[in-house]
Chain A
Amino acid sequence: MLISNIEVVPGKRVTQHLGLVQGSTVRAKHAGKDIMAGLKNIFGGELCAYTELLQESRTEAIERMTEQAQAIGANAVINVRFATSAIAAGASEILAYGTAVQLEDL
């Protein structure tokens, strides 16, 4: 499965346009990590735990999107976008969406 955020794919042609696919996930870190992050707010620096958390959830969102695309018979997802929103304290929603298409070599 090819995933990309460009609209026109080099060397390939879109034969079928299958519409929008999306995947999202909501995640939170446990309270201990939140307290550590609160301490980090005094000293500054990177919050590795949150970086990992968001990276994982983004991978998860892409996976769900890919599953959806496979289910409708696509072999690529183009024009992928990410959106992030903090829906509550300590929890964030990550959404990945794109266009499922069928590509063919030129």
Chain B
Amino acid sequence: MEGLIQLGIFVLLLFLGFVFGRRAESKHYKSIFAREEKLRNIVVTTERTPEAEFERHEFNLVSGNVVISVDYFKVVAAGLRSLVGGRIRSYESLLDRARREAILRMQEQANAMGADVVINTKFETCRISGNAGKGIGSMEVLAYGTALIPPQNR
């Protein structure tokens, strides 16, 4: 009987994770695509030194961060996948979303300053494990760079 209840809880969590996780993911991707289209005018590069044409630009540090959580279905799917090895698609999409969201927030900040380019972009990823035990729990992704602001926008 007890085993049955445990199984029931497991299946319920799996179901909840699948339904809500899916919905959250597709909604998030939709908003990412829309905002990426809107912020295309802010060029983000990893160049370390600015080109000569930016000589008269002001500069400022910009950053964007996001903490994103796994859902129960992803954890179980990843656990099964790690038995046989290979790509863990459920985590790939999670981190892809987080990184793109972090870039978008950085771009939004740069946009608000009137910048047109962000150079020397760096990423940092950190696992926040406080609530997860052994699993990956939540991931924090930070993107930061230097925004160059043209003098007429100051």
Is B146 touching A5 in the complex (CB atoms < 8 A)?
Answer: yes
* Chain A contacts for B101, CB-based, 8 A: 46
In whole angstroms, what is the CA distance A37 to B70 when docked? Answer: 10
Number of interface residues of A (CB under 8 A): 39
Known contacts A5-B144, A6-B119, A44-B24; A58 and B63 CB within 8 A of each other: yes
Is A55 touching B120 in the complex (CB atoms < 8 A)?
Answer: no
Known contacts A82-B142, A84-B142; A92 and B59 CB within 8 A of each other: no
Is A44 touching B25 in the complex (CB atoms < 8 A)?
Answer: yes
* Chain A contacts for B114, CB-based, 8 A: none
Is A50 touching B138 in the complex (CB atoms < 8 A)?
Answer: yes
Q: B24, B101, B131, B148 — which one has the most chain A CB atoms within 10 A of its CB?
A: B131
Is A9 touching B59 in the complex (CB atoms < 8 A)?
Answer: yes
A6 to chain B, nearest CB (A): 5
**Chain A residues touching B, majority SS:** mixed
Is A92 touching B126 in the complex (CB atoms < 8 A)?
Answer: yes
Interface status of A4 (Cβ within 8 A of chain B): yes
Interface status of A89 (Cβ within 8 A of chain B): yes
Near B by CB (< 8 A), chain A positions 78-100 give 80-86, 89-92
Is A7 touching B25 in the complex (CB atoms < 8 A)?
Answer: no
* Chain B contacts for A10, CB-based, 8 A: 50, 54-57, 59, 148
Is B70 touching A46 in the complex (CB atoms < 8 A)?
Answer: no
Is B142 touching A47 in the complex (CB atoms < 8 A)?
Answer: no
Is A45 touching B69 in the complex (CB atoms < 8 A)?
Answer: yes
Interface status of B43 (Cβ within 8 A of chain A): no
Out of A8, A44, A55, A81, which one reaches B69, CB within 8 Å? Answer: A44
Is B140 touching A4 in the complex (CB atoms < 8 A)?
Answer: no
Interface status of B13 (Cβ within 8 A of chain A): yes
**Mind listing 12 A-B residue pairs with CB under 8 Å?**
A2-B59, A4-B61, A5-B61, A6-B48, A7-B48, A41-B75, A43-B16, A43-B69, A45-B20, A46-B69, A54-B67, A55-B65
